[in-house]
A and B are shown apart, each in its own frame.
Chain A
Amino acid sequence: MLTRGFSGRKSAQEFVDRIPPGQHLVENFPVLSAGPAPRVDTAEWKFSLKIGPKPVKAWTWAEFNALPQSKWVRDIHCVTTWSKLDTQWEGVTIDDILADADLEAPTEFVLAHSYDGYSTNVPIADLSVGKAMVATKFGGKPLERDHGGPARLLVPHLYFWKSAKWVNGLQFTTRDEAGFWELRGYHMRGDPWREQRYTND
């Protein structure tokens, strides 16, 4: 259905193949979250890995920062329709986290948990083999509280709500269990190239 009189803002033709359907480019970095931003002191920060209810390994801030660090430049896409190109991140890949725990993925599904009680489900296939990291730096600087600092999950190929802010753990689950937004009408997988915004899109 055409919208009478609409031609759109023709600003980003050169990047069209990097912008998923229904998305538009922004230069700024908008913030979205369901509640107040928690204040997490790195002295208290802990990141843990669990299989179901069972803890496997946990890292303090110092231990986590001693893991192999990766630097990525990625495009990111928010379900509210903004996309941002060439964002710079640093952190520890999920592969390196699992390797440090000496763990092979025991199930296909993962729930990421955060300090504010937020959770989001991501299949391990979307986290492993260089697809995702726990990021502690953005643009070369420590990740700001507003953007999920000290650490957030980064799964750049999925809509950005999957990149849980203030992340404090990954939990393997036997089933694909809906996380916070997935229980509130958002898609279970969230692939921007297939416009999987809301439930069953």
Chain B
Amino acid sequence: MSSDTPTTDGQSAKIEWQSAVVSSIVRQTPTITSYFFRLPQPFAYRAGQHVDVRLTAPDGYSASRSYSIASSPCKMFSDPSAEIELAIERLEEGEVSPFFHAVVQENDEIALRGPLGGHFVWPEKPAGPILLIGSGSGLVPLISMLRHACRTDNDTPVALLLSARTREDVLYRDELIAYEEKLRRFSLRLAITREPPHRDKDFGRRIDAGMLGEVLGDLPAMPAHVFICGSNGFVNIAADGALAAGLPAAAIKTERYGE
């Protein structure tokens, strides 16, 4: 059975839609752009949770999708009016993500509700080191965790294995590299699949079991929690690799964004 604590008891109130205002838009990689939202009804959330976004057409048709929150939850604790950040990857032929990239502008209002999801969340009291594994926009819930960990928890060792096509495609690259330089207990490994890696400790191939073994070596002990997020194919390889490396299934949490 899973080791996380449920965040609701099935009795909590309905989470209402609100009209969030796009306060700024920042392009992060060739395919991923951040959207910052001001919330009329701010909410506290845990690192790893998501919001649902709903777009409505004049004929009443609506489309909704889930997006993980990229910003750190502790910002909200200190300043409840803080914005939340979503980072959305443009999928060709998609309905919602290309709309964000092509149409959404600052000051637009977008229907949104959250926080949602109570499983893929940073533990309140980590029981040991934490391993994060992500690909592409699968970094989004993980960066919220890292931002949170970097600000609040000063002891938990964290290793991140992040896969991206090229160096340019590494979401939050500068921020990640800065964390690694600043924090000795954080280790970053990139798996770059379509060009040679730039840093010695990075890999120039797709994620595999051997790579996981090396990344585990960056941690002082076996991780107590593993969070894996990305496309389904990626998550399967990473989760099977983690099991093969001897990690218990109950320690591994996954979030799958699509095929």
Which of A88-96, A132-140, A193-201 makes up part of the contact surface?
A193-201
User: Which of A5, A9, A24, A182 is B10 in contact with, Cβ under 8 Å?
Assistant: A182
Chain B CB within 8 A of A37 CB: yes
Residue ID in chain A nearest B247 by CB atoms:
A36
CB-defined contacts of B242 to chain A, threshold 8 Å: 36
Q: In the bound complex, how far is the Cα of B249 from the Cα of A37, in angstroms?
A: 9
> Are A185 and B95 interface neighbours, CB within 8 A?
no
Which of A26-34, A47-55, A61-69, A103-111 makes up part of the contact surface?
A26-34
> Are B254 and A34 interface neighbours, CB within 8 A?
yes
Chain A CB within 8 A of B246 CB: no
CB-defined contacts of A37 to chain B, threshold 8 Å: 236, 239
Contacts A30-B232, A146-B232 given; indicate if A185 touches B118 (C-beta within 8 A).
yes
User: Which of A33, A35, A80, A183 is B6 in contact with, Cβ under 8 Å?
Assistant: A183
CB-defined contacts of B62 to chain A, threshold 8 Å: 8, 21-22
CB distance from A12 to the nearest CB of B (A): 10
Per-position 1/0 for A1-30, Cβ under 8 A of B:
111111111000000000001101000101
Chain A CB within 8 A of B185 CB: no
User: Which of B116, B117, B259 is A28 in contact with, Cβ under 8 Å?
Assistant: B259
Chain B CB within 8 A of A40 CB: no
> Are B54 and A117 interface neighbours, CB within 8 A?
no
Residue ID in chain B nearest A2 by CB atoms:
B56
User: Which of A22, A33, A116, A181 is B64 in contact with, Cβ under 8 Å?
Assistant: A22
Q: Most chain-B Cβ atoms within 10 A of its Cβ — which of A7, A180, A199?
A: A199
> Are A6 and B56 interface neighbours, CB within 8 A?
yes
CB distance from B241 to the nearest CB of A (A): 10
Which of B107-115, B134-142, B170-178 makes up part of the contact surface?
B107-115
CB-defined contacts of A35 to chain B, threshold 8 Å: 2, 239, 249-250, 252-254
Chain B CB within 8 A of A124 CB: no
- By size class, the interface of chain B is 35 or more
Q: In the bound complex, how far is the Cα of B91 from the Cα of A9, in angstroms?
A: 14
CB-defined contacts of A180 to chain B, threshold 8 Å: 2, 119
CB-defined contacts of A197 to chain B, threshold 8 Å: 52
Chain B CB within 8 A of A128 CB: no
Chain A CB within 8 A of B127 CB: no
Q: In the bound complex, how far is the Cα of B91 from the Cα of A28, in angstroms?
A: 15
Q: Most chain-A Cβ atoms within 10 A of its Cβ — which of B66, B116, B240, B242?
A: B116
CB-defined contacts of A36 to chain B, threshold 8 Å: 239-240, 242-243, 249, 252, 254
> Are A198 and B95 interface neighbours, CB within 8 A?
no
Chain A CB within 8 A of B12 CB: yes
CB distance from B189 to the nearest CB of A (A): 21
Residue ID in chain B nearest A177 by CB atoms:
B10
Per-position 1/0 for A162-201, Cβ under 8 A of B:
0000000000000000101111110010000000011111
Q: In the bound complex, how far is the Cα of B256 from the Cα of A37, in angstroms?
A: 12
Chain B CB within 8 A of A38 CB: yes
Closest 9 CB pairs of A and B: A184-B118, A36-B239, A183-B6, A200-B14, A117-B1, A178-B10, A5-B103, A3-B55, A6-B55
Known: A185-B15, A198-B116. 16 other contacts (CB 8 A): A1-B19, A4-B109, A5-B104, A6-B56, A7-B59, A8-B59, A33-B254, A34-B253, A36-B254, A178-B9, A180-B119, A183-B6, A184-B7, A185-B7, A199-B8, A199-B10
Where the two chains meet, the residues of A that have a C-beta atom closer than 8 Å to any C-beta of B are: 1-9, 21-22, 24, 28, 30-38, 80-81, 116-117, 146, 178, 180-185, 188, 197-201
* Residue contacts A-B, CB under 8 angstroms, 10 given: A3-B109, A6-B99, A24-B63, A34-B119, A34-B120, A36-B242, A37-B236, A184-B8, A184-B119, A199-B11
